[in-house]
Amino acid sequence: MRSDIFFLICLVVGCALYGGVVVLGNDYIFFAGYVVLQYVVLATAWNILGGYCGYVNFGSAAFFALGAYSTVAFYRFYPLPIPILVLIGAVVSGAVGLMMGYLTLRLRGAFFAIATLALAVVLETLVVNWDYVGGSRGAYIVRPETIAPFGPYIRYLFMIMLLVAIGAVTVARLIERSQLGYGFATIRDDELAAEALGVPTLRLKLIATAISGGLMGMAGAPFPYYIGYLQPATTFGLDYTVNSIAMPMIGGTTSWVGPLVGAVLLGSLQQIATVTISSAINLLIVGLLLVGFVIVAPNGIVGLVHRYIQHRPDDFVGRRRVGGEATGETTGSVP
Amino acid sequence: MIFSFDLLINALVSGILIGGFYAAVTSGVSLSFGILDIVNIAHPAFIVLGSYVVYALNSSLGLDPILASIIVTPAFYALGAAIYQIYYVSFEKRGQESLRGLAFFFGLLFITEVTLVLYFGVDYRYVEASYIGPTWHFGPLDIPLRILVPSLVSLLLIAALQLTLTKTFVGRAIMAVAQDQLALRLMAVDPIRIKRIAFGISIATASLAGAFLIIIQPVEPSVGREYIGRVFAICVLGGMGSLPGTLIAAFLVGVVESLTATFYGPSWAPAVSFGFLLLTLAVRPAGILGR
């Protein structure tokens, strides 16, 4: 399917989703749906670097918070419209990702992972010490009650996050099917061999880091308007990091479908669990699911479904195919 | 601020003492990450777990914290060996340690932290011992015993680990497994068993480091996160897998952090280790005493 057609289908699905929620008439669904969509963006963004290139980013919360705090910084200066703030968040987070990637990506993958972990701590230190954006006290953003064509303000925010999510998924799918995506896959499978064949690995990794970081910043930029009161400890919280890793891992990391499935499932589950059980137990569930899936189902839900579909014809042909399949896993491109 | 010599001396000494403690915290990571190449980012979480076990023994039985931590080292060793076994079967054997192995340890970190929150709550906990409280005074210099004692025991721990690694058969095998697994196998030694032992020892140090941590400062479940960046910065700065290098790097980071906290304010101290980490990775990735 061509990418522009895919994008149009996504838009239609998005409009249907928005319309459906409006018809339900319950504003709480907008609040919960916003969080799920935000996780769709974060998970898709993480997967561009983590799933496609095989480099683990533990700093999702930092990139997310960069987007959120650039909004706060600009809000104090002059309250720009949110779509512009989203673009600013993307530029800021993407630039930081690029800079950090340049310093650490030349080394083995583990160093990059550790550096991203430390980045979250340092950025939090900077924000805590920066009074202009509220410091450790946090910052308030006064959200207007309503906005012209949408009615309640949350619907406007939901719409923005919906568009960002559609954009993120389209970009991920586009990358996957382009030369860039094949380059990323060579890095994931064998970086040394790729380098030897003339793949510009460092440049590709930097592109991936910048796109991934930028998308995370876009997810964070409208957040201050959503939450109303932004505080360093929660914005830099480990919840965002663990979710943005767990969702692609549970969904499946090799294609754009995985993070989407993982984020929608896990995100909705968490929204339900937070309301019905408690938020601490719901985080425990995420951690247990993450560990369980990486051990038992390395290719996530998408991998399980794939295997199920591939095995079924074997029941009919079965005994004639002596060798069976060699590895049991495909990346989707092998017919 | 008027530059004060007393302040400088006190900052230097407390930095060195804290550095000794950092060396103990990092020694486990030097074993697992430096020698075995297992990126155990959950190590600080195990240290906090150690703190809570020590806290439970101290508050219920009144045991001395350090003694309590020595008593529970076998349990931590067994935990480490079990985790390595899972890690080996699920990731190392299949060659998936880079992406999924990291996610696995991250999940462990998260599970440990949330479990501690659910069981103990988010309040700060502390232990009681005779050396917590008194301070020795030497002229302008103040040395609080609650930092001095863990620091000295840390040095003992590092010395014991270094002797084990260089003088005993198992220790030499651990050093060898980092260099050439095949050669080790040709000597009729099972590299997996050696790695399991090494990882067990690495987690066992976490119980001691946990005791030091809760002696030095009150502990709450997420306190380990501050140590992730610091621990890996020290490990990389010292040179992968070199315990003497780890010790030097720990002193360095301790002193610079202490000076930063004294002259710029404690809220800036966490940025120090990150600066060290980035600088080392950019300038000399092999570290101070790297191979």
Question: How distant is the Cα of B102 from the closest Cα of chain A, in angstroms?
Answer: 8
Residue B282 forms contact with A (CB below 8 Å) = yes
User: Any idea how long chain B is?
Assistant: 291
Domain ranges of chain A: 3-242
Contact B241, B291 (CB under 8 A): yes
CA torsion sign for A216, A219, A221, A227 is negative
Q: At what angle do helices B225-238 and B243-264 cross, to 10 degrees?
A: 130
Whole-complex ipTM:
0.83
Kindly report the average pLDDT of chain B as a whole number: 87
Q: Does B279 touch chain A (CB under 8 A)?
A: no
Pick from A129-133, B143-147, B152-156 the range whose average pLDDT is largest. Answer: B152-156
Asked if pLDDT for residue B2 goes beyond 60, the answer is no
pLDDT tens-digit profile of B11-60? 899 899 999 999 999 999 999 988 888 889 899 999 999 999 999 999 99
Give me the residue label for tokens 């979710």.
A243
Q: Check pLDDT > 60 for residue A6.
A: yes
Q: Are B110 and B118 in contact (CB under 8 A)?
A: no
Q: In the structure, what pLDDT confidence band is assigned to residue A324 with cuts at 50, 70 and 90?
A: very low
Q: What is the pLDDT of residues B50-104, one digit of tens each?
A: 999 999 999 998 889 999 999 999 999 999 999 999 999 888 888 776 778 888 9
B8 touching chain A per CB within 8 A: no
**Rounded to whole angstroms, how far apart are CA atoms A75 and B253?**
37
Q: CB-based contact (8 Å) between B268 and chain A?
A: yes
Contact between B17 and B142 (Cβ < 8 Å): no
Contact B278 A103 (CB under 8 A): yes
Q: Taking CB atoms and an 8 Å limit, are A107 and B285 in contact across chains? A: yes
Mutation test of the interface with chain B: which of A53, A122, A205, A327, choosing the one with the most B Cβ atoms within 10 A? A122
Instruction: Grade residue A325 by pLDDT with cuts at 50, 70 and 90.
Output: very low
Q: Any chain A CB within 8 A of the CB of B243?
A: no
Residue A282 has pLDDT above 70, yes or no: yes
Cβ neighbours for A273, distance < 8 A, ≥ 6 positions apart: A281, A282, A285
**pTM attached to this predicted model:** 0.84
Express each pLDDT in B165-196 by its tens digit.
999 999 999 888 888 888 888 888 888 999 99
Q: What is the pLDDT of residue A38?
A: 93
Nearest to B51 by CA among B283, B210, B281, B287: B210
> Look-up: residue for tokens 């004692």?
B149
Residue matched to tokens 């799933």: A51
In chain B, which residues have their Cβ closer than 8 Å to the Cβ of A118? Answer: 228-229, 232-233, 273-274, 277
Q: pLDDT tens for residues A12-26?
A: 888 888 888 888 878
Max avg pLDDT among A99-108, A141-150, B242-251: B242-251
For the four alpha carbons of A307, A313, A318 and A320, in that order, the dihedral sign comes to: negative
Task: Look at the block and give the residue holding tokens 């619907």.
Answer: A155
Strands B135-138 and A146-147 come out as: unpaired
With a CB-CB cutoff of 8 Å, which residues 213-242 of chain B face chain A? 222, 225-226, 228-229, 232-233, 236
Angle at B108 between CA B247 and CA B113, to 5 degrees: 85
Q: Which of A233, A59, A123, A214 is nearest to B275 (CA)?
A: A123
User: Shortest CB distance from A287 goes to which of B102, B114, B226?
Assistant: B114
Q: Report CA Rg, chain B.
A: 19
pLDDT cut 70: percent of chain B above it: 98
Please, what's the b/e burial string for A108-142 (b: 16 or more CB within 10 A of its CB; e: otherwise)?
Answer: ebbbbbbbbbbbbbbbbbebbeeeebbeeebbebe
Continuous segment of H or E residues that includes residue B207: helix B191-216
Q: Which of A47-61, A66-80, A96-110, B230-244 has the lowest mean pLDDT?
A: A96-110
Please give the torsion angle defined by the CA atoms of residues A71, A10, A246 and A286, in that order, rounded to the nearest 10 degrees: 90
Using an 8 Å CB-CB cutoff, list chain B residues near A303.
none
Where b means 16+ CB within 10 Å and e means fewer, A6-42 reads: bbeebeeebeeebeebbeeeeeebbebbbbbbbbbbb
Nearest by CB to residue A122, choosing from B39, B102, B270, is B270
Measure the CA–CA gap between A47 and A69, rounded to whole angstroms.
Answer: 23
Q: What is the largest CA-CA distance in chain B?
A: 65
Residues of A at the B interface, defined by Cβ within 8 angstroms: 50, 54, 56, 58, 103-104, 107, 109-111, 113-115, 117-119, 121-122, 124-126, 128-129, 136, 238, 241-242, 245-246, 249, 253, 280-281, 283-284, 286-288, 290-291, 294-295, 298
Confidence category of residue A40, pLDDT binned at 50, 70, 90: very high
SS (H, E, C) chain A: CCHHHHHHHHHHHHHHHHHHHHHHCCHHHHHHHHHHHHHHHHHHHHHHHHHHHCCCCCCHHHHHHHHHHHHHHHHHHCCCCHHHHHHHHHHHHHHHHHHHHHHHCCCCHHHHHHHHHHHHHHHHHHHHCCHHHCHHHCEECCCCCEECCCEEHHHHHHHHHHHHHHHHHHHHHHHHCCHHHHHHHHHHHCHHHHHHCCCCHHHHHHHHHHHHHHHHHHHHCCHHHHHCEECHHHHCCHHHHHHHHHHHHHHCCCCCHHHHHHHHHHHHHHHHHHHHCCHHHHHHHHHHHHHHHHHHCCCHHHHHHHHHHHHHHHHHHHHHCCCCCCCCCCCCCCC
Q: What's the gap in Å between the CA of A156 and the closest CA on chain B?
A: 34
Rounded CA separation B286/B291 (Å): 7
Residue-wise pLDDT for B275-290, tens only, equals 887 778 777 777 777 6
What are the two backbone dihedrals, phi and then psi, of residue B242, each rounded to the nearest 5 degrees? -105, 115
Write down the pLDDT at residue A215: 94
Q: For residue B22, which phi and psi values (nearest 5 degrees)? A: -60, -35
Residues of A in contact with B113 (CB under 8 A): 238
Radius of gyration of chain A (CA): 20
What is the predicted pLDDT for the residue at A314? 52
B-chain residue closest to A100, CA distance: B278
CA–CA gap between residue A252 and residue A257 (Å, rounded):
8
The two counts, helices (H) then strands (E), for chain B are 11, 2
Residue A77 neighbours by CB under 8 Å, 6+ apart: none
- Reading the block at residue B49, the tokens are 């777990």
> How far is B289 from chain A, CA to nearest CA, in Å?
18
Chain B residues with CB under 8 Å of A115 CB are: 277-278, 281
d(CA A153, CA B59): 52
User: Cα separation of A57 and A110, whole Å?
Assistant: 10
- A contacts of B228 (beta carbons < 8 Å): 114, 117-118, 121
| Contact residues on chain B for A249, CB-CB shorter than 8 A | 100, 103
Buried/exposed code over A211-245 (b: 16+ C-beta within 10 A; e: otherwise): bbbbbbbbbbbbbbbbeeebebeebbbbbbbbbbb
Q: Phi, psi at residue B283, to the nearest 5°?
A: -100, -50
For residue B67, the 8-state DSSP code is H
Say how far apart CA A66 and CA A76 lie, in whole Å: 15
Q: What are A247's two structure tokens? A: 């969702």
